Amino acid sequence: MREEQISYGQMLDIARHLLPVMLSRTALKIFPKWKTADISSKQIVAVICRNLLFYQIQLMSRNYAADPDCSNSTAFLSYASALRKFLLQESDLELYLCRVNHGLTDSEAARLEISLRHLPAVPDKAPEYIRIIQDYLAHLLGMFELPPDELKLSLYDLQTDWQESLCRFPMQLISARYSLELARNENNRNLSRQRNGLKRRLQWGKEFHNYYQFHLAAGCCDQTAKKLARTDFIKAHPISGTAEEAVDFPNMPGHHRCSLLSYHRAYLKSLGSVPESLEL
């Protein structure tokens, strides 16, 4: 277990120095991979527009639920209400709710183009991520009539710019570096707890071993020496207070035979001498 956590800690250190970012899978699929060449330019642009608006709505829902500033923002609420009204009034609502990898026919693409040109205006004080996505949509609306060759180059540039924007504020979902730092700190705390726990186990194992050797030296048989050693150990570590306090007390050793056997084994293993059979 310890080796796995140390390896995990090393991986965290490596990742922290590679400038990681945390991305949404939906955001990465805004520009879908086409499986056929029989796709018109309008279909391509319409699908990308549909995916962008879907992702914007997803972000708005997430931020409204998680960020009190959004739920109290007049600009956000007014725009959200206008966007909701726009979607509910449109006969093309089902086109906006398709999965991001769902294609569109030529007639559906034409309907979507007309519909998108009636999107509600974005208030100046609306969240920046909304304005960014709407800028991309406005740019895409001017690409419906581009020739195929020119469209390919424009979409390549736009997709590259989109991917770069996902790595910057405010499109970043959360700081990956900060998340890795939290994971690294938690990993270090776990390792520290394990090291402290092992240290206590070794101390208790050594203490029990000394009691055990004392009774063996006094002429007791093996089983009697173990029984008396357990009695001495329990006397040295009495349970005080309520039962709840005893359970919550992290430095309190167990009194059960299995617990003492575990401590004794750990101590003997640290010395490099663990008998094949060691039973209390």
Is there a contact between 264 and 209 (Cβ–Cβ < 8 Å)? yes
Q: What is the pLDDT along the chain (280 residues), one digit of tens a residue?
A: 444 445 777 777 777 777 788 888 889 989 987 765 677 888 999 999 999 999 999 999 888 887 777 778 888 999 999 999 998 876 778 777 766 667 788 888 898 999 999 999 999 889 999 999 999 999 999 999 898 889 989 999 999 999 999 988 888 777 777 777 888 888 888 888 888 888 999 999 999 999 999 999 999 999 999 999 999 999 998 876 655 555 556 678 888 899 999 999 999 988 886 554 454 5
> Residue 125 contacts by C-beta under 8 Å, 6 or more apart in sequence?
73, 74, 75
Among the listed residues 143, 142, 146, 116, the one whose alpha carbon sits nearest the alpha carbon of residue 56: 116
Q: In the chain, what are the domain boundaries?
A: 23-165, 194-271
pTM (predicted TM-score): 0.66
Among the listed residues 25, 18, 26, the one whose alpha carbon sits nearest the alpha carbon of residue 180: 18
Exposed/middle/buried for 205, CB within 10 Å: 0-12, 13-18, 19+?
A: buried
For the record, the structure tokens of 175 come out as 């700081």
d(CA 16, CA 14): 6
Q: Angle CA(168)–CA(171)–CA(174) in degrees, nearest 5?
A: 85
Helices (H), ranges, the chain: 2-16, 25-28, 41-66, 68-71, 74-89, 93-96, 106-116, 128-141, 148-165, 176-217, 222-236, 243-248, 257-271
